[in-house]
Amino acid sequence: MADRDEDKRVVITGMGIVCPLGHDVETVWQAILAGQSGMAKTTVFDASTFPTTFGAEVKNYDFTEYVNRPERHRGSSRGAGFAIGAAAQACKQAGIEIETAGPTDGVARERLGMYLGAGESSVNNDVFFAAILAGWDTDKNEMDWDKWAKVAFGGMDPGYELEQEANAPLAHIAMLTGARGPARNCLTACAASTQAVGEAATLIRAGDADVMIAGGAHSMIHPLGVTGFNRLTALSTRNDTPETASRPFSASRDGFILGEGAAILILESLGSARRRGVEILAEVMGYGSSADAFRVTDMHEEGRGAIAAMTAAISDAGITYGDIDYINAHGTGTSENDYIETKAIKGVFKEKAKGIPVSSVKSMLGHLIGAAGAAELITCVLAIRDNIVPPTMNLDDPDPELDLDYVANAPKKTPVNIVMNESFGFGGQNDVVIIKRFS
Protein backbone atom coordinates (compact mmCIF):
# COMPACT_ATOMS: atom_id res chain seq x y z
CA MET A 1 0.00 0.00 0.00
CA ALA A 2 2.85 2.33 -0.83
CA ASP A 3 0.69 4.43 -3.17
CA ARG A 4 -1.01 6.99 -0.91
CA ASP A 5 -2.53 9.43 -3.39
CA GLU A 6 -5.99 10.72 -2.63
CA ASP A 7 -7.86 8.09 -4.64
CA LYS A 8 -5.95 5.25 -2.96
CA ARG A 9 -6.36 6.46 0.61
CA VAL A 10 -9.60 5.30 2.21
CA VAL A 11 -11.27 7.26 4.98
CA ILE A 12 -14.34 6.84 7.18
CA THR A 13 -16.91 9.62 6.95
CA GLY A 14 -20.04 8.18 8.54
CA MET A 15 -21.12 5.66 11.18
CA GLY A 16 -24.41 4.22 12.35
CA ILE A 17 -25.35 1.52 14.83
CA VAL A 18 -28.38 -0.28 16.23
CA CYS A 19 -27.46 -2.67 19.03
CA PRO A 20 -28.42 -3.82 22.54
CA LEU A 21 -26.95 -0.68 24.13
CA GLY A 22 -28.80 1.82 21.96
CA HIS A 23 -29.86 2.99 18.53
CA ASP A 24 -27.23 5.63 17.77
CA VAL A 25 -23.46 5.91 17.98
CA GLU A 26 -23.11 8.39 20.83
CA THR A 27 -25.62 6.65 23.09
CA VAL A 28 -23.84 3.35 22.58
CA TRP A 29 -20.40 4.85 23.15
CA GLN A 30 -21.38 6.52 26.41
CA ALA A 31 -22.96 3.27 27.60
CA ILE A 32 -19.73 1.41 26.84
CA LEU A 33 -17.60 3.94 28.69
CA ALA A 34 -19.98 3.62 31.65
CA GLY A 35 -19.64 -0.17 31.60
CA GLN A 36 -23.33 -0.81 30.98
CA SER A 37 -24.61 -4.24 30.03
CA GLY A 38 -26.88 -5.05 27.10
CA MET A 39 -27.69 -8.53 28.42
CA ALA A 40 -31.07 -9.53 29.87
CA LYS A 41 -33.68 -12.30 29.83
CA THR A 42 -34.75 -13.30 26.32
CA THR A 43 -38.07 -11.79 25.31
CA VAL A 44 -38.32 -12.30 21.54
CA PHE A 45 -39.35 -15.91 22.19
CA ASP A 46 -39.93 -18.12 25.23
CA ALA A 47 -36.47 -19.44 26.06
CA SER A 48 -37.32 -20.49 29.61
CA THR A 49 -36.60 -24.18 28.95
CA PHE A 50 -33.39 -23.60 26.96
CA PRO A 51 -29.95 -24.06 28.52
CA THR A 52 -29.45 -20.31 27.94
CA THR A 53 -32.44 -18.13 28.80
CA PHE A 54 -30.93 -14.71 28.09
CA GLY A 55 -29.25 -12.73 25.35
CA ALA A 56 -28.38 -9.24 24.14
CA GLU A 57 -31.50 -8.04 22.35
CA VAL A 58 -32.22 -4.77 20.60
CA LYS A 59 -35.11 -3.23 22.54
CA ASN A 60 -37.77 -0.61 21.67
CA TYR A 61 -36.58 -0.21 18.07
CA ASP A 62 -38.65 0.83 15.06
CA PHE A 63 -36.88 1.23 11.73
CA THR A 64 -39.73 3.36 10.36
CA GLU A 65 -38.42 6.25 12.44
CA TYR A 66 -35.48 6.46 10.03
CA VAL A 67 -37.33 6.44 6.70
CA ASN A 68 -40.03 8.43 4.94
CA ARG A 69 -41.32 5.53 2.87
CA PRO A 70 -41.59 2.55 5.21
CA GLU A 71 -43.91 0.74 2.80
CA ARG A 72 -40.89 0.01 0.59
CA HIS A 73 -39.46 -2.09 3.39
CA ARG A 74 -42.66 -3.90 4.30
CA GLY A 75 -42.06 -7.35 5.73
CA SER A 76 -38.35 -6.72 6.30
CA SER A 77 -36.60 -9.17 8.58
CA ARG A 78 -35.42 -8.16 12.02
CA GLY A 79 -31.82 -7.95 10.83
CA ALA A 80 -32.72 -5.91 7.74
CA GLY A 81 -34.68 -3.50 9.91
CA PHE A 82 -31.59 -2.92 12.03
CA ALA A 83 -29.53 -2.34 8.87
CA ILE A 84 -31.95 0.29 7.59
CA GLY A 85 -31.58 2.39 10.74
CA ALA A 86 -27.82 2.02 10.94
CA ALA A 87 -27.38 2.89 7.26
CA ALA A 88 -29.64 5.95 7.55
CA GLN A 89 -27.55 7.24 10.47
CA ALA A 90 -24.24 6.64 8.70
CA CYS A 91 -25.43 8.32 5.50
CA LYS A 92 -26.67 11.35 7.41
CA GLN A 93 -23.30 11.82 9.10
CA ALA A 94 -21.48 11.42 5.78
CA GLY A 95 -23.79 13.84 3.97
CA ILE A 96 -25.25 11.17 1.70
CA GLU A 97 -28.88 11.79 0.84
CA ILE A 98 -31.39 8.95 1.13
CA GLU A 99 -34.78 8.36 -0.47
CA THR A 100 -34.21 10.85 -3.26
CA ALA A 101 -34.34 10.48 -7.02
CA GLY A 102 -31.96 13.38 -7.65
CA PRO A 103 -29.26 13.51 -4.98
CA THR A 104 -27.13 16.63 -4.70
CA ASP A 105 -24.55 15.20 -2.29
CA GLY A 106 -21.72 14.83 -4.80
CA VAL A 107 -21.85 11.02 -4.89
CA ALA A 108 -22.64 9.45 -8.26
CA ARG A 109 -24.89 6.49 -7.50
CA GLU A 110 -23.11 4.24 -9.98
CA ARG A 111 -19.92 4.94 -7.95
CA LEU A 112 -21.68 4.25 -4.62
CA GLY A 113 -21.26 0.61 -3.63
CA MET A 114 -22.19 -1.65 -0.77
CA TYR A 115 -20.42 -4.49 1.01
CA LEU A 116 -22.14 -6.10 3.97
CA GLY A 117 -21.46 -9.00 6.25
CA ALA A 118 -25.10 -9.86 6.78
CA GLY A 119 -26.63 -13.09 7.95
CA GLU A 120 -29.82 -15.05 8.10
CA SER A 121 -32.67 -13.67 10.14
CA SER A 122 -35.96 -15.23 11.15
CA VAL A 123 -38.97 -13.13 10.16
CA ASN A 124 -41.92 -14.96 11.69
CA ASN A 125 -41.06 -18.13 13.59
CA ASP A 126 -44.59 -18.53 14.96
CA VAL A 127 -46.18 -18.95 11.54
CA PHE A 128 -43.30 -21.08 10.27
CA PHE A 129 -43.53 -23.56 13.13
CA ALA A 130 -47.33 -23.53 13.07
CA ALA A 131 -47.16 -24.58 9.43
CA ILE A 132 -44.77 -27.40 10.28
CA LEU A 133 -47.01 -28.67 13.08
CA ALA A 134 -50.10 -28.44 10.90
CA GLY A 135 -48.47 -30.26 8.02
CA TRP A 136 -46.67 -33.09 9.79
CA ASP A 137 -48.40 -36.45 9.34
CA THR A 138 -47.38 -38.48 12.40
CA ASP A 139 -48.86 -41.73 10.98
CA LYS A 140 -46.85 -41.55 7.76
CA ASN A 141 -43.88 -39.76 9.37
CA GLU A 142 -43.77 -37.28 6.52
CA MET A 143 -44.91 -33.77 5.61
CA ASP A 144 -48.36 -33.18 4.13
CA TRP A 145 -47.51 -30.19 1.99
CA ASP A 146 -51.13 -29.35 1.29
CA LYS A 147 -51.79 -28.80 5.01
CA TRP A 148 -48.48 -26.92 5.31
CA ALA A 149 -49.46 -24.59 2.47
CA LYS A 150 -52.81 -23.67 3.96
CA VAL A 151 -51.13 -22.33 7.12
CA ALA A 152 -47.97 -20.99 5.53
CA PHE A 153 -49.59 -19.09 2.66
CA GLY A 154 -52.31 -17.84 4.91
CA GLY A 155 -50.05 -16.39 7.58
CA MET A 156 -46.61 -15.65 6.14
CA ASP A 157 -45.70 -12.33 4.62
CA PRO A 158 -45.25 -12.67 0.83
CA GLY A 159 -41.57 -11.79 1.20
CA TYR A 160 -40.88 -14.33 3.95
CA GLU A 161 -38.57 -16.58 1.96
CA LEU A 162 -36.68 -13.69 0.38
CA GLU A 163 -36.12 -12.05 3.76
CA GLN A 164 -34.30 -15.18 4.91
CA GLU A 165 -31.64 -14.50 2.30
CA ALA A 166 -28.38 -13.09 3.63
CA ASN A 167 -28.44 -10.28 1.05
CA ALA A 168 -31.85 -8.93 2.15
CA PRO A 169 -30.26 -6.07 4.18
CA LEU A 170 -28.20 -5.20 1.10
CA ALA A 171 -31.34 -4.88 -0.99
CA HIS A 172 -33.03 -2.64 1.57
CA ILE A 173 -30.00 -0.34 1.80
CA ALA A 174 -29.85 -0.14 -2.00
CA MET A 175 -33.50 0.99 -2.07
CA LEU A 176 -32.78 3.47 0.71
CA THR A 177 -29.72 5.08 -0.86
CA GLY A 178 -30.04 4.44 -4.60
CA ALA A 179 -26.60 2.77 -4.57
CA ARG A 180 -25.91 1.18 -7.97
CA GLY A 181 -22.21 0.44 -7.67
CA PRO A 182 -20.57 -2.82 -6.55
CA ALA A 183 -22.98 -4.77 -4.35
CA ARG A 184 -21.52 -7.63 -2.35
CA ASN A 185 -22.37 -9.60 0.75
CA CYS A 186 -20.39 -12.16 2.72
CA LEU A 187 -21.55 -14.51 5.45
CA THR A 188 -18.31 -15.56 7.09
CA ALA A 189 -19.78 -15.97 10.56
CA CYS A 190 -18.35 -13.74 13.27
CA ALA A 191 -15.77 -12.20 10.92
CA ALA A 192 -18.27 -11.11 8.27
CA SER A 193 -18.55 -7.36 8.78
CA THR A 194 -14.81 -6.93 9.36
CA GLN A 195 -14.26 -8.71 6.07
CA ALA A 196 -16.88 -6.46 4.47
CA VAL A 197 -15.08 -3.31 5.63
CA GLY A 198 -11.70 -4.61 4.53
CA GLU A 199 -12.92 -5.70 1.11
CA ALA A 200 -14.87 -2.46 0.65
CA ALA A 201 -11.67 -0.50 1.22
CA THR A 202 -9.94 -2.72 -1.33
CA LEU A 203 -12.62 -1.92 -3.93
CA ILE A 204 -12.13 1.81 -3.40
CA ARG A 205 -8.36 1.49 -3.73
CA ALA A 206 -8.85 -0.47 -6.94
CA GLY A 207 -10.91 2.38 -8.37
CA ASP A 208 -14.15 0.38 -8.54
CA ALA A 209 -16.08 2.80 -6.32
CA ASP A 210 -15.73 6.25 -4.77
CA VAL A 211 -17.87 5.51 -1.73
CA MET A 212 -18.81 2.22 -0.07
CA ILE A 213 -21.51 1.53 2.49
CA ALA A 214 -19.89 -1.21 4.57
CA GLY A 215 -20.68 -3.13 7.71
CA GLY A 216 -22.99 -5.86 8.87
CA ALA A 217 -26.39 -6.89 10.20
CA HIS A 218 -27.47 -10.03 11.98
CA SER A 219 -30.21 -11.42 14.20
CA MET A 220 -30.03 -15.00 15.42
CA ILE A 221 -31.92 -14.66 18.70
CA HIS A 222 -34.55 -17.18 17.69
CA PRO A 223 -35.08 -20.84 18.64
CA LEU A 224 -32.90 -22.26 15.88
CA GLY A 225 -30.04 -19.84 16.51
CA VAL A 226 -29.97 -20.38 20.25
CA THR A 227 -30.33 -24.15 19.86
CA GLY A 228 -27.38 -24.31 17.50
CA PHE A 229 -25.01 -22.35 19.72
CA ASN A 230 -26.19 -24.21 22.83
CA ARG A 231 -25.45 -27.53 21.13
CA LEU A 232 -21.95 -26.24 20.41
CA THR A 233 -21.66 -25.33 24.14
CA ALA A 234 -20.57 -21.88 22.97
CA LEU A 235 -23.13 -19.84 24.95
CA SER A 236 -22.90 -18.80 28.56
CA THR A 237 -25.46 -20.51 30.80
CA ARG A 238 -25.12 -18.00 33.63
CA ASN A 239 -28.89 -17.54 33.66
CA ASP A 240 -29.13 -16.07 37.15
CA THR A 241 -26.79 -13.16 36.40
CA PRO A 242 -27.15 -12.27 32.70
CA GLU A 243 -25.89 -8.70 33.15
CA THR A 244 -22.42 -9.92 34.11
CA ALA A 245 -22.37 -13.18 32.16
CA SER A 246 -20.06 -11.94 29.39
CA ARG A 247 -16.61 -12.33 30.91
CA PRO A 248 -13.84 -12.24 28.30
CA PHE A 249 -10.40 -13.22 29.62
CA SER A 250 -11.86 -14.14 33.02
CA ALA A 251 -11.14 -17.44 34.77
CA SER A 252 -14.90 -17.89 35.24
CA ARG A 253 -15.86 -17.28 31.57
CA ASP A 254 -18.25 -19.89 30.24
CA GLY A 255 -19.19 -18.72 26.75
CA PHE A 256 -20.45 -15.77 24.75
CA ILE A 257 -23.83 -14.02 24.89
CA LEU A 258 -25.78 -14.08 21.65
CA GLY A 259 -26.60 -10.56 20.50
CA GLU A 260 -28.07 -8.86 17.46
CA GLY A 261 -27.91 -5.56 15.63
CA ALA A 262 -26.37 -3.69 12.72
CA ALA A 263 -23.38 -1.42 12.26
CA ILE A 264 -22.62 0.57 9.12
CA LEU A 265 -19.61 2.70 8.17
CA ILE A 266 -19.26 4.96 5.14
CA LEU A 267 -15.90 4.48 3.47
CA GLU A 268 -14.70 6.72 0.67
CA SER A 269 -11.60 7.77 -1.09
CA LEU A 270 -9.85 10.74 0.43
CA GLY A 271 -10.31 12.57 -2.86
CA SER A 272 -14.08 12.05 -2.73
CA ALA A 273 -14.30 13.17 0.91
CA ARG A 274 -12.33 16.34 0.19
CA ARG A 275 -14.34 17.18 -2.91
CA ARG A 276 -17.55 16.84 -0.91
CA GLY A 277 -16.18 18.72 2.08
CA VAL A 278 -17.29 16.16 4.69
CA GLU A 279 -15.69 15.46 8.05
CA ILE A 280 -13.14 12.64 8.10
CA LEU A 281 -13.45 10.44 11.18
CA ALA A 282 -10.49 8.09 10.64
CA GLU A 283 -8.43 6.45 7.92
CA VAL A 284 -8.43 2.76 6.98
CA MET A 285 -4.79 1.74 6.89
CA GLY A 286 -4.60 -2.02 6.43
CA TYR A 287 -6.56 -5.23 6.01
CA GLY A 288 -5.57 -8.85 6.47
CA SER A 289 -7.51 -12.06 5.94
CA SER A 290 -6.73 -15.74 6.40
CA ALA A 291 -8.21 -19.18 7.00
CA ASP A 292 -7.20 -21.59 9.73
CA ALA A 293 -7.70 -24.69 7.55
CA PHE A 294 -8.25 -26.59 10.77
CA ARG A 295 -11.74 -27.33 12.12
CA VAL A 296 -15.18 -25.89 11.50
CA THR A 297 -15.81 -24.94 15.14
CA ASP A 298 -12.31 -24.49 16.61
CA MET A 299 -9.43 -22.10 16.14
CA HIS A 300 -6.03 -23.60 15.42
CA GLU A 301 -4.29 -24.24 18.76
CA GLU A 302 -1.29 -22.10 17.86
CA GLY A 303 -3.41 -19.28 16.49
CA ARG A 304 -1.77 -19.55 13.08
CA GLY A 305 -4.74 -18.07 11.18
CA ALA A 306 -5.09 -15.16 13.59
CA ILE A 307 -1.36 -14.48 13.43
CA ALA A 308 -1.43 -14.56 9.62
CA ALA A 309 -4.34 -12.09 9.44
CA MET A 310 -2.74 -9.68 11.93
CA THR A 311 0.61 -9.85 10.16
CA ALA A 312 -1.01 -9.25 6.77
CA ALA A 313 -2.93 -6.22 8.05
CA ILE A 314 0.22 -4.69 9.56
CA SER A 315 2.09 -5.22 6.29
CA ASP A 316 -0.77 -3.75 4.24
CA ALA A 317 -0.80 -0.69 6.50
CA GLY A 318 2.90 -0.14 5.95
CA ILE A 319 3.63 0.01 9.69
CA THR A 320 5.21 -2.22 12.34
CA TYR A 321 3.56 -3.90 15.30
CA GLY A 322 5.20 -1.31 17.53
CA ASP A 323 3.06 1.44 15.97
CA ILE A 324 -0.27 0.08 17.24
CA ASP A 325 -1.70 1.76 20.33
CA TYR A 326 -4.72 -0.44 21.05
CA ILE A 327 -6.11 -3.84 20.04
CA ASN A 328 -9.86 -4.30 19.96
CA ALA A 329 -9.98 -8.04 20.59
CA HIS A 330 -12.48 -10.52 19.23
CA GLY A 331 -12.74 -11.50 22.91
CA THR A 332 -15.81 -13.71 22.92
CA GLY A 333 -15.52 -15.05 26.46
CA THR A 334 -15.16 -18.68 25.39
CA SER A 335 -12.29 -20.58 26.94
CA GLU A 336 -10.76 -21.40 23.57
CA ASN A 337 -11.02 -18.02 21.84
CA ASP A 338 -9.58 -15.96 24.67
CA TYR A 339 -6.64 -18.28 25.23
CA ILE A 340 -5.71 -18.65 21.56
CA GLU A 341 -6.26 -14.97 20.77
CA THR A 342 -3.94 -14.02 23.62
CA LYS A 343 -1.36 -16.46 22.33
CA ALA A 344 -1.66 -15.03 18.81
CA ILE A 345 -1.24 -11.45 20.05
CA LYS A 346 1.93 -12.48 21.86
CA GLY A 347 3.15 -14.16 18.70
CA VAL A 348 2.74 -10.96 16.67
CA PHE A 349 3.50 -8.23 19.20
CA LYS A 350 6.39 -10.00 20.92
CA GLU A 351 7.97 -7.85 23.62
CA LYS A 352 5.29 -5.17 23.30
CA ALA A 353 2.38 -7.55 23.86
CA LYS A 354 2.07 -7.02 27.61
CA GLY A 355 2.26 -3.25 27.31
CA ILE A 356 -0.44 -2.64 24.71
CA PRO A 357 -4.08 -2.20 25.85
CA VAL A 358 -6.38 -5.00 24.68
CA SER A 359 -10.11 -5.00 25.38
CA SER A 360 -13.36 -6.66 24.39
CA VAL A 361 -16.55 -4.61 24.16
CA LYS A 362 -18.47 -7.88 23.78
CA SER A 363 -18.45 -7.83 27.57
CA MET A 364 -21.16 -5.16 27.21
CA LEU A 365 -22.58 -5.51 23.69
CA GLY A 366 -22.79 -9.28 23.59
CA HIS A 367 -21.76 -11.01 20.38
CA LEU A 368 -23.51 -9.48 17.38
CA ILE A 369 -22.26 -12.31 15.12
CA GLY A 370 -22.12 -10.92 11.55
CA ALA A 371 -22.46 -7.33 12.78
CA ALA A 372 -19.88 -7.68 15.56
CA GLY A 373 -16.76 -6.57 13.70
CA ALA A 374 -18.26 -3.38 12.29
CA ALA A 375 -19.85 -2.46 15.62
CA GLU A 376 -16.50 -2.91 17.32
CA LEU A 377 -14.72 -0.95 14.59
CA ILE A 378 -17.00 1.98 15.36
CA THR A 379 -15.77 1.87 18.96
CA CYS A 380 -12.21 1.92 17.60
CA VAL A 381 -12.93 5.14 15.70
CA LEU A 382 -14.32 6.66 18.89
CA ALA A 383 -11.35 5.47 20.92
CA ILE A 384 -9.13 7.42 18.53
CA ARG A 385 -11.40 10.46 18.65
CA ASP A 386 -11.50 10.60 22.44
CA ASN A 387 -8.07 9.10 23.26
CA ILE A 388 -9.68 6.52 25.49
CA VAL A 389 -9.67 2.72 25.48
CA PRO A 390 -13.01 1.08 26.33
CA PRO A 391 -12.98 -1.50 29.10
CA THR A 392 -13.40 -5.23 29.33
CA MET A 393 -16.13 -5.51 31.92
CA ASN A 394 -16.72 -8.30 34.45
CA LEU A 395 -13.00 -9.08 34.61
CA ASP A 396 -12.88 -9.58 38.37
CA ASP A 397 -11.04 -12.91 38.38
CA PRO A 398 -8.38 -12.82 35.64
CA ASP A 399 -7.32 -16.13 34.18
CA PRO A 400 -3.69 -16.56 35.32
CA GLU A 401 -2.81 -17.98 31.90
CA LEU A 402 -3.99 -14.74 30.23
CA ASP A 403 -1.57 -12.00 31.18
CA LEU A 404 -2.09 -9.08 28.79
CA ASP A 405 -3.47 -5.64 29.69
CA TYR A 406 -7.18 -6.27 29.13
CA VAL A 407 -8.27 -2.86 30.53
CA ALA A 408 -10.31 -4.42 33.30
CA ASN A 409 -13.62 -2.85 34.35
CA ALA A 410 -12.89 0.82 33.60
CA PRO A 411 -11.85 2.84 30.52
CA LYS A 412 -8.23 3.87 30.16
CA LYS A 413 -7.35 7.41 29.13
CA THR A 414 -4.29 7.20 26.89
CA PRO A 415 -3.13 8.48 23.47
CA VAL A 416 -4.75 6.37 20.73
CA ASN A 417 -3.68 6.96 17.14
CA ILE A 418 -3.56 3.54 15.48
CA VAL A 419 -5.94 0.68 16.34
CA MET A 420 -6.19 -2.95 15.28
CA ASN A 421 -9.64 -4.54 15.17
CA GLU A 422 -9.77 -8.36 15.17
CA SER A 423 -12.56 -10.74 14.15
CA PHE A 424 -12.32 -14.54 14.08
CA GLY A 425 -15.27 -16.58 12.82
CA PHE A 426 -16.52 -20.14 12.92
CA GLY A 427 -15.05 -22.09 10.05
CA GLY A 428 -11.61 -20.60 10.71
CA GLN A 429 -12.19 -17.21 9.06
CA ASN A 430 -9.86 -14.48 10.34
CA ASP A 431 -10.14 -10.82 9.38
CA VAL A 432 -8.27 -7.83 10.77
CA VAL A 433 -8.62 -4.12 9.97
CA ILE A 434 -6.23 -1.36 11.08
CA ILE A 435 -7.36 2.26 11.27
CA LYS A 436 -5.57 5.45 12.28
CA ARG A 437 -6.23 9.03 13.25
CA PHE A 438 -6.54 11.02 10.04
CA SER A 439 -3.84 13.55 9.33
* Contact between 79 and 169 (Cβ < 8 Å): yes
Phi, psi of 137 (to 5 degrees): -95, 105
218 is known as an active-site residue = no
* Contact between 86 and 262 (Cβ < 8 Å): yes
Catalytic-role residue among 222, 300, 330, 380? 330
**Distance (Å, whole) CA 268 – CA 15:** 12
Catalytic-role residue among 190, 218, 222, 380? 190
Q: In what order do the strands lie in the sheet with 112-121?
A: 183-186, 112-121, 211-219, 260-269, 10-18, 282-291, 429-436, 418-425, 326-328, 358-359
**Distance (Å, whole) CA 244 – CA 260:** 18
330 is known as an active-site residue = yes
367 is known as an active-site residue = yes
Q: Which helix (H) or strand (E) holds 173?
A: helix 168-177
Q: Which residues of 290-319 are buried (b: 16+ CB within 10 A; e: fewer)?
A: bbbeeeeeebbeebbbbbbbbbbbbebbeb
- Residue whose C-alpha is closest to residue 106's, from 294, 253, 263, 276: 276
**Distance (Å, whole) CA 210 – CA 111:** 5
Catalytic-role residue among 19, 300, 367, 380? 367
How do beta strands 282-291 and 429-436 pair?
antiparallel
Instruction: Locate all alpha helices (DSSP H) within 66-124, ordered by sequence.
Output: 78-94
Residues known to be catalytic: 190, 330, 367
